Amino acid sequence: MKPGRTTRPAARKPAKTRPAKPKATKKRPPRLFRMADPRKRLKVLLVGVCVLMSLFAGRLVQLQGLDASTYMLTASQIGRTTVELAAERGDVVDRNGEPLARAVESYNLFVDQTQVANPAAYALQLETVLDQDAETLQERLTGDDRFAYVAKGVGGSTWREIQDMDLEGVDAENAEVRAYPAGPVAGSVVGFLGADGTPLGGLELSQEEVLAGQDGRVVYRESPGGERIATDAVAREEPVAGDGLELTIDRDLQWYSEQVLADAVDNANADGGTAVVLELSDDASEIAALASSPSLDPNNPEDTEGPDRGSRAVEEAYEPGSVFKPLTMAAVLEEGEADASTAYSVADNIRRSGHTIRDHYGHPEQEMTLTGVLAKSSNVGTLQAAEQLDAETFRGYLAEFGIGEATGIGLPSETSGRLPSLDEWSQLTHDNISFGQGVSVNTVQMASAYATIANGGVRVDPTLISATVDSDGERTPVEPKDPQRVVSEETAAEVAQMMEAVMGEGGTGESAMLEGYRVAGKTGTAQRIDPECGCYGQYNASFMGFAPADDPQYVVAVSLMNPRNGNSGSGLAGPAFSDILRFALERDGVTPGEEPAPELPLFADGTNGE
């Protein structure tokens, strides 16, 4: 290479590139499609069809087999309507058959207007018997209704006159009306019905199963529009009348007792009162009168406040006070702990269990006979006599007299009163109960206990319902409970004589004596719980007894609740007692006796005191 010359590197020839060979691709085998097994498809289809057919078959069995009668009944009722036919309610009558409650035949007159060709002519005929103007009747008879009322409360004789007119499209449904022809007489006993016929009180309520009977029904066809086709009855089931009740109540004596009691309540300015009259026989003690004040007129029950619509004589429990003492005396005598002449040293007060028990009047310590204790109504003397009895014995006698047990005469809401159990019995309980406090009764219970003494010591539970009478007039007597001896005949006679002393000279009941009759009685003034304070703040005044004392025919018990014009049982309840007793004796033709009452001394010195 020559100096001074540069040399260039020899130019490189571009390399020859060979085209890339394409990569070889792996070929996949073609996808094969296989048909499903037709046998399996047929099996699934067959199972599905079988399931579906079994459902149809089951439903068919249900419709035609199991539920066939139900669907037949439903189908048969399409296009029909059922109307109940009220059964005739049984009557309630007194012992002489005089009605106290009865069903009065009555009908609701209706018409299918589409069958009335001449409404004006119909109206003129009906006007003569329905006592409604023809224009009004024509309006009710005109139209396209398949059922419309024309008149309600149509009497039976009137409906029969209309039937004789043979008016096409006119018919009637039974709409019995309950009537109380005696008005308020025995209203609280009989009870009343609501506007819809529901029994709401008294025997109407408690004897519903006897009185109601069995309703019938009539099935009518309906028009496509759902209207009853009045003259197209397709089925009819006649109602069965209820049985009636025959009571022991004497309606006249009931009326008189209610009048006398209402006067006594007014004179005493009391909250209310009760009067019970029992008629006695050898094997029965029938309630001849059961009066409550305020009274109830079943024809207009809304005129009486709700709490006063029942019978106070069984619904109201109260502490009886001194009218309870004859029961205590009977227990003492029966146990042989004393007799009518046994003397007790009686102060006018005594301290017991931290409490002071007092007589109703102040007096020095006196030697009283057991007769005097009863005649003077001494609380102190009574508890002294009763303390000779142990608790179990004393309570047992009271229970046997019916204290603490409902009488079950058939009226609703009867209270059983309250006789403390032995677990509750303390010495103070024993003392208080002996003179009628700490124990509660209803008036019927007390009347029944007095009837036990009057009946020679045998308890015969009082009855109010003497028989049921079916629609054919067949009488079924109500069987009384078996008599139960409580005390001996001698004890009962001795207590009755002591009760006669109550009505005699020096006794608390002297002012209520009946001239010519020997009366055994007892006065009572009891403390009463004031509901406002829950404490003793009110009183009950009572007078109870029976006559003639030597052959008792009637027991009368009168109680006045919360009198405000005094609290004396003799002064407030005594006049009502004697008035009711005299009426019963004279009405029954019981003549005055000739034998005088035995003279039993009230004090140990043989006198009757002042």
Nearest alpha carbon to residue 444 among 594, 317, 294? 317
Nearest alpha carbon to residue 212 among 88, 111, 122? 88
Phi, psi of 70 (to 5 degrees): -65, -45
CA dihedral 160, 166, 171, 172 (to 10 degrees): -10
Q: To the nearest 5 percent, what fractions of the chain are helix, strand and coil?
A: 35, 25, 40
The catalytic residue among 106, 188, 293, 322 is 322
Angle, to 10 degrees, between the axis of helix 251-268 and the axis of helix 574-587? 160
CA distance 198 to 410: 18
Contact 220, 83 (CB under 8 A): yes
Phi, psi of 286 (to 5 degrees): -95, 135
CA distance 62 to 71: 10
Nearest alpha carbon to residue 284 among 128, 418, 458? 458
- List residues bridging with 84 in a β-sheet: 217
CB within 8 A of 102, min separation 6: which ones?
91, 92, 178, 179, 181
CA distance 57 to 72: 19
How crowded is residue 474: how many other Cβ atoms within 10 Å of its Cβ? 10
CA distance 509 to 505: 9
281 as an active site residue: the answer is no
At 116, list the tokens: 């009335």
Contact 417, 403 (CB under 8 A): yes
Task: Say how far residue 599 (Cα) sits from the centre of its chain.
Answer: 46
Helix (H) or strand (E) holding 344: strand 343-346
DSSP letter assigned to residue 487: S
∠ at Cα 197 (288, 105), nearest 5°?
A: 80
DSSP letter assigned to residue 45: H
At 500, list the tokens: 């006669």
CA distance 42 to 37: 9
HSE of 203, CA atoms in CB hemisphere, 13 A: 28
- Using the Cα atoms of residue 324, residue 330, residue 336 and residue 342 in order, give the sign of their dihedral: positive
At 140, list the tokens: 């009710």
- Where helices occur in 524-596 by DSSP H, the ranges are 574-587
Contact 436, 411 (CB under 8 A): no
Catalytic (active-site) positions:
322
